[in-house]
Structure 1
Amino acid sequence: MTSSDQRDTATRDELLRLARKQGIPGRSRMTRAQLAAELAERDGPAARPDADQQAPDQPAPEQKAPDQQTDGQPTAGQRPHGRAIASRVEAFRRMAEARAAGEMVLIPRMLTGNDRRVHVRQTVREDHEMRIAGHAIEAQEKFDKLAGSVYHFFRGTNLLFYRDLVGEDARLPTVLALGDVHPGNFGVMPSADNVPIFGVNDFDDAYYAPFTWDLKRGAVGFVLAAGEKGGHGPDKQRAITRRFLTGYVEGMASYAADATEDSEQLRLDNAPPLIAELIAGALETTRSEWLAGLLDETRGGFRTNDEVVPVSSRRAEFQDVVERFVEGNQVPVPERAGRMRVKDVAERKSAGTASLGLPRFFVLIEGPRADGTDDLLLEFKQARRSALSGLVPPSEYQMDGMADRIRHAQRVHLVNGDVFYGSVDIDGRSFMVRERAPFRDSISLGKLSRREWKEYAEICGRVLAHTHAMSDDSGNVDYDVEPAILEAIGSRELFVDDVLRFAEEAAARVRQDHEYFVADHALGAFRNVDVVYR
């Protein structure tokens, strides 16, 4: 039983831990006082964890709870033969605190030569600890994919990037950062009204952090993508990336002036021509046509192929999962979802870049017609800890872990986004849930002209400004974000130039890291994890 004294003295992290155990909906967005009140009403277990319990982001060094066995931010785990898996999580947490406090700290991006190569190897191993230790075939497929492309390597090694930023920009305004900004993480997706909207579309690494963390990663992403996908040289890469940054600054200035962020959506009727064309193209395929490519000839279940493997025997299990998901996330089930009856279940293979190799399921929900022409498709993807966890400067803005954090970010970042975006536990592991729609699409970077690259970069910069501006409207930030960011930016020309120089240096580092990775991968470096022998 939770006593009043225990609730009064517990930290927010400790209350969040208890709220998660009790399945309290909306806990990620609650203040400490709201959590304490909700727990008091439920009169749950003691609010102060035992001495050997840890806060959500601080698992015990010799064990992992099932929902902490993720690759997004590694923790020291136990190998079957008894040796602990090596982890530098706590070392980096201390480094973030020291650097944020103004101490002079050696950070990984200062390393060169063999020291840097070993750091890259260790970080990639840590980041994929679960997948490597489990001998997942898709883990090696992911490493093959990363070896073949600098841009994919950048996308698939988020932890490596953010360890180079450890504790950086502590004095700057905090926002709910997307955590993995690059040109491929913007796209078309369903809104709450089941119409296509354009915006940020990947919240797996979202975390409260200085606003510059998203800008720096996004700028590096545009430099690398413009070079590899667009075939542009250094001068054009710089011009394209500059448009991304100026789009952000101008967008933030606009939201500071007119405060329209809490109602703004990019739809077919109001999007810039480049995005309107993307949305219109996504609408060309009907739901029935789209489903025909996924379902068998009877439209009674999934069709087997290299990417989708039916596991129909798990229908009853997932019916329970879906019902728990709807109740726990307070999903306003639309009429088009019928009775939320699970029609079939399949494992999704070879999907994504960063999440490749993590468990993922497709769940087919029978539509009102019950003829396979209007069914819904929900995706359940195992959540990872954010790559930013333990690396951002310490702040009062905390987030619950795993899929609850991802759900919180989606609801903050998108105005009236997908109603099915949420979280649920399956077999003790945290999964995020979203609807897969026939009009979910993203821009083809390889087909953009130089002019379109600049237009797209500017649009993405403004969209990112919109997500940051929402941090105080529906997020946990308790001050006016937009004027604070503009004040912190100061001279816009100097600010943009600073981030551009950072991006070019970081892009060169990514290219060198990729060479190290390719050489190590060829030597079998990522078939085993590092373990502690003494």
Structure 2
Amino acid sequence: MTPITAHAALSPAERAAYGKAARERAPRSGHGRFETDRERPDPVEVLEGQSATRVPELVPIRYGRMLESPFRFYRGAAALMAMDLWSLPATELTVQLCGDAHLLNFRLLASPERHLVFDINDFDETLAGPFEWDVKRLAASFAIAGRHNGFSAAEQDGAVHACVRAYRTRMREFAAMPTLDVWYAQDDADRVRALLASSMSKRARRRTAAATAKARTRTHLRAFAKLTRVTSEGRRIAPDPPLVTPLRDLLTDPSDDRQEKLLRNVLEGYARTLSSERRFLLRRYRLVDMARKVVGVGSVGTRCWILLLLGKGDDDPLLLQAKEAQESVLAGPTADLGHENQGRRVVTGQRLIQTTSDIFLGWTHAVGLDGVGRDFYVRQLWDWKGIARPDTMEPDMLRLFAHLCGGGLARAHARSGDPVAIAAYLGGSDRFDRALADFAQAYADQNERDAEALAAAVASGRVSATAM
């Protein structure tokens, strides 16, 4: 994929002309068309290809979670959509993509200044690519969520239109702003409430206030209380296999010293990627335990570790999550050049897209108990995260949430891409909005067919699935 290109040497008029010229490569109305051909790979084979590099005993959990609903399947099927996106005409208006921009990857997060902000949360698949790939994945997620809720086609389209219209109109706002103002722009909780207040019912306002308050309770201390217990050796991670398995329980020989070596290597390698003042802060803590954890839907089966560190005592914890970073599904038929460490790719993309990132965000490379070296990125576990519940939303609330997500995605893309060129491509009409609504419905159909293929594979015994 063409790398992100700086347009500082071009005038605004030249950048706008560049954006409009992209309509010849990929007409706006053409984004509404989505069809697959006979050469499209078997979706189960694609999923099994991913599973080949994952922890074998955890793969059935991944499939079990994906089969819970078409929306859950969609969350775990980023590789399938990436394959489909590669087959479509592209604008070549490049940004740093989230790579998995479905609606549940937008949430309330804590800034280092301890303010709540609304932002993208997941960057496992981040990579440079055409801006519309993220917009299409986000738009389709609202159609699929609307179907899951039993909404009418018109109500589903209403959410998609709200999402894409917010993206387009906010991108036009960013195109008119000074460069630094674009970079500093953020959606804090107060702005979100003010933005939605005039359109929300009293019930919706109460739910929004409750969600904000709940996000503030999802701190590292709450995670600490939930995930640990006091033992004869002190505070340690509590086992809950197969979802949480302490490293000591994965070793068959209690005298095996690989545990201590692995713990030390992971932390030391990661610490070297932090800035000096954050390395100083990290040194205030000592590492006491580590456990393998099952996370998400699409990530199930990748190696994910939680690290328990303690400061002044058992009541002064720091919980870190070290998650395996594999090559982005968006790399497609081209090599992901320029990333010697996939964890670094994730961290670099996150810092470029997010308005403010976790102070402990870093990466490392570690050799596991199986002797295989893997890339990881590291961040805090549970730090003021407010997660949306689309299955409980009425059509008007889903539409409002879609508006927030579309605007948030535009802000992320404006930081890394050229808002002038993208805004010029999108234009002032709703042509792109209407096309994306058609695409979202067509892709929701494809998503259902792919989910049915996985269900059939489970029923035939071709693959195994475990409900958990």
Task: Give secondary structure in 2 for the equivalent of 1:354.
Answer: coil
What does 1:425-440 align with in structure 2 at a 5 Å threshold? 425-427=365-367, 428-440=373-385
Match of 1:311 among 220, 238, 247: 247
What does 1:300-339 align with in structure 2 at a 5 Å threshold? 300-306=235-241, 307-311=243-247, 314-315=259-260, 317-330=262-275, 332-333=277-278, 337=282, 339=284
1:91 is aligned to: none
Change (3 A) 1:501 1:378: same
Change (3 A) 1:315 1:443: farther
Letter in 2 for 1:129: A
Q: State the structure with bigger RCO (CA 8 A, min sep 6), 1 or 2.
A: 2
Change (3 A) 1:364 1:123: same
Contact persistence 1:315–1:344 (CA under 8 A): no
CA positional deviation for 1:337:
4.6
Change (3 A) 1:400 1:248: farther
2:42 is aligned to: 119
1:296 pairs with 2:223? no
Deviations 1:457-511 (A, max 9, x none): 0000011001101105xxxxxxxx1110011113531111111111111111111
Hey, what's the Cα distance between the residues in 1 that align with 2:380 and 2:283? 15
2:200 is aligned to: none
Letter in 1 for 2:461: G
Contact persistence 2:272–2:279 (CA under 8 A): no
1:363 pairs with 2:282? no
2:316 is aligned to: 374
Hey, what's the Cα distance between the residues in 2 that align with 1:297 and 1:441? 28
Hey, what's the Cα distance between the residues in 2 that align with 1:285 and 1:130? 32
Hey, what's the Cα distance between the residues in 1 that align with 2:285 and 2:342? 25
1:386 pairs with 2:322? no
Task: Give secondary structure in 2 for the equivalent of 1:297.
Answer: strand
Deviates more, 1:255-264 or 1:179-188: 255-264
Letter in 1 for 2:36: M
1:161 is aligned to: 81
2:361 is aligned to: 421
1:459 pairs with 2:404? yes
Match of 2:36 among 82, 87, 110: 110
How big is the alpha-carbon RMSD for the aligned residues of Structure 1 and Structure 2?
3.2
CA positional deviation for 1:254:
1.5
1:242 pairs with 2:136? no
Deviations 1:391-426 (A, max 9, x none): 58x99x965551111011111011231121221001
Change (3 A) 1:289 1:125: closer
CA positional deviation for 1:129:
2.3
Letter in 1 for 2:105: N
CA positional deviation for 1:264:
2.3
Contact persistence 1:184–1:443 (CA under 8 A): yes
Contact persistence 2:34–2:439 (CA under 8 A): no
TM-score (norm. length: structure 1): 0.70
Letter in 2 for 1:342: L
Q: Which blocks of at least 5 consecutive residues in structure 1 are unaligned? A: 1-12, 14-27, 32-99, 102-106, 473-480, 528-534
CA positional deviation for 1:202:
0.4
Change (3 A) 1:311 1:523: same
1:191 is aligned to: 111
CA positional deviation for 1:269:
3.7
1:35 is aligned to: none
CA positional deviation for 1:197:
2.6
2:345 is aligned to: 405
Task: Give secondary structure in 1 for the equivalent of 2:355.
Answer: coil
2:448 is aligned to: 511
Contact persistence 2:220–2:319 (CA under 8 A): no
1:348 is aligned to: 293
Count of residue pairs brought into register by the alignment: 410
Letter in 1 for 2:97: A
Letter in 1 for 2:379: R
Task: Give secondary structure in 2 for the equivalent of 1:258.
Answer: coil
Contact persistence 2:285–2:318 (CA under 8 A): no
Deviations 1:190-243 (A, max 9, x none): 323354432100000111111111111111111001221x33121111101110
Hey, what's the Cα distance between the residues in 2 that align with 1:449 and 1:335? 48
Hey, what's the Cα distance between the residues in 2 that align with 1:470 and 1:124? 32
Deviations 1:263-300 (A, max 9, x none): 12333343326666433221135654442222213661
Contact persistence 2:34–2:443 (CA under 8 A): no
Change (3 A) 1:183 1:278: same
Hey, what's the Cα distance between the residues in 2 that align with 1:161 and 1:507? 11
Change (3 A) 1:471 1:269: same
2:186 is aligned to: 265
Q: Which protein is richer in helix relative to its size?
A: 2
Deviations 1:146-171 (A, max 9, x none): 22311111111111112112253334
Hey, what's the Cα distance between the residues in 1 that align with 2:364 and 2:440? 37
What does 1:208-223 align with in structure 2 at a 5 Å threshold? 208-223=128-143
Change (3 A) 1:277 1:504: same
